[in-house]
Structure 1
Amino acid sequence: MNPNDDNKGPSGKRCKTKNLPKTVPGFCMQAYQKNTVTEGPKTAENVQPKTVKATTNFAAKCGRPGFPLAASYAGRNRPFRWLVPLEMIDYDVYLPIMTDGLREPSKPYGACAAQGLWDLLTRDTTSRRVLNALPRMVFPLRRALNAAASDHWRVGVRALKTLQKLASAGKDGRVGYALVPYYRLLLPPLNRYGRLTDVSSNDGVNQCIKYNIADLCYQTLLLLEYTGGQCAYSNIKYLIPTYENVVVCCKKPARTGTATDTSDGTTALHIK
């Protein structure tokens, strides 16, 4: 079969095929060739606003009827408002939900959960209600410590400050002792934090104050040792081998100092 027969028409004569121009990208060497046409600019698509899906239980419930906390998008240093008095809030229900909201990346839910949680921990002076809700707060707090990555270090800052507030909650110091059995769940992520000497981030609540991750981690460990009693150092040292103690507990009471809240939201430890 003659291959040239494919170009013949019905009458048996050869048909001339029309050379169509070739479409090439713009601003390239092919655009200078003969019988070429450059592509035009791409049409702009309608950009639809993206809806942020709730990743935590706190973001799904915040703002709904019956929830005692409402996010405020206008407040700068106060990203939320309480809808009921703090004395009427059930700590067993809402403390675990707010602890889970610490790892919420979308604004303003993460900062709202952190500030609301810190208000409740500071308000309970007897630490009785915090102790009842503590077992259900451990796993959400561990997830927040593990969720801190290169793009969400503020989640780690919120989790470390929450751990400080927990250790110093109440005037009797019982929460600090109750945290010691949970060190094996909470402290392993802190091995990574101690090496981040050049990383700083804010907590999302106050954008003006930045915290060094390594320094904040060391301050948290000092406070845990101070409030955890005589067995706290051995448990911390077992989980974080690079930690060195500064609180000497031999032949002295375990609590020989004061822990006060500073202006930047952290808890300062003053040893006598």
Structure 2
Amino acid sequence: MVNRGEFWSEVRRKKCGREKKALRIVPAFTIQALQANTVVASPPRISLFKERPAKISVFRKYYERGMFPLTLEVDGGAGLHVTWKLSSGKLGMEKLDYKYYLPLFFDGLTENRQPYSFIVEQSITDMLEVGSVKVLPVIPYLIKPIKKSLDTKIPEVICRTCRILQRLVRCGPCIGEALVPYFRQILPIFNLFKEKKVNLGEAIDYSQQRGDNVPDLIQETLEIFEQYGGEDAFINIKYIIPTYESCINN
């Protein structure tokens, strides 16, 4: 014999099941979230490593108009080569206005297409080698394009920027120390990608052999910053990147 209490409990359960409405998804932290038959929407995913390609750089616009004293030539088996259209050739770059040209070339670090990326890296390298004494006064004008290139979060662009930063610090005296006050603009992206290892399982990561491995290049760049940045370099790096360990003290 069926128990009277169990019978009516079963009836009420079936009745509630038929009358149950589909839950309505509503935004979080709103008055709608307090209403009946609602469920709060899940928070959006945060894409920390999502690439953010920059717009066409000012460098590219100026280069296409022929406003730089250089040409791109193709050697027989050596590939591309940048030739400076100056009276004394490459040595004549000492007479260039570094405050005007160098920030424009640094602005082109965001370019990820050939031949623009090659022209930018080679041109900056040439200017740093020839006119190193003229680089120090231009440092404040280079921070914004450096930060813009790192903020793209494109691995190739970050690697190119790291190589340029290493050459920049080594090209002349006091440049490493002059960069220390700008670590708060430069290093946050380094902190994001420093421990981003690529899990390939048993496969081989050929980027390490090519020198295009982002975490490795970031580590090398930070060590150079510490070596050339003076006594305040390490504490400023450590403030932005807590996982960094000194290459001098250790």
Identify which of 122, 145, 155 aligns with 2:157: 155
SS at match of 1:71: strand
Q: 1:236 to 1:110 in 2, by over 3 A?
A: same
TM-score, with normalisation over the residues of structure 2? 0.67
Task: Give the whole-Å Cα distance in 2 for the aligned partners of 1:74 and 1:116.
Answer: 17
Give the letter for the 1:118 counterpart.
T
Q: 1:197 to 1:240 in 2, by over 3 A?
A: same
Give 1:68 deviation, angstroms.
Answer: 1.3
* 1:35-74 deviation line (CA, Å, top 9, x unaligned): xxxxxxxxxxxxxxxxxxx801111111534411223466
Q: CA RMSD in A?
A: 2.4
Residue 137 (str. 1) matches residue 142 (str. 2): yes
Who is 2:181 aligned against?
A: 181
Identify which of 114, 119, 129 aligns with 2:121: 114
SS at match of 1:195: coil
Contact 1:56 1:101 in 2 (8 A): yes
Give 1:186 deviation, angstroms.
Answer: 0.6
Unaligned runs of 5+ in 1: 1-53, 203-207, 250-272
Task: Give the whole-Å Cα distance in 1 for the aligned partners of 2:96 and 2:174.
Answer: 21
Q: 1:65 to 1:87 in 2, by over 3 A?
A: same
Task: Give the whole-Å Cα distance in 2 for the aligned partners of 1:56 and 1:105.
Answer: 11
* 1:204-257 deviation line (CA, Å, top 9, x unaligned): xxxx934221111101000000000111000000000110002139xxxxxxxx
What is the aligned length? 184
* 1:82-135 deviation line (CA, Å, top 9, x unaligned): 11232222111010000010111221111111110011112224x3x1112111
Radius of gyration: which is bigger?
Answer: 1
Runs of 4+ with deviation above 3 angstroms: 63-66, 71-79, 199-202
Higher relative contact order (CA 8 A, sep 6+): 2
Residue 83 (str. 1) matches residue 90 (str. 2): no
Task: Give the whole-Å Cα distance in 2 for the aligned partners of 1:110 and 1:122.
Answer: 19
Unaligned runs of 5+ in 2: 1-54, 87-91, 200-204
**What percent of counterpart residues are identical?**
33
Give the letter for the 1:109 counterpart.
Y
Contact 2:59 2:107 in 1 (8 A): yes
Task: Give the whole-Å Cα distance in 2 for the aligned partners of 1:177 and 1:187.
Answer: 15
Give the letter for the 2:222 counterpart.
L
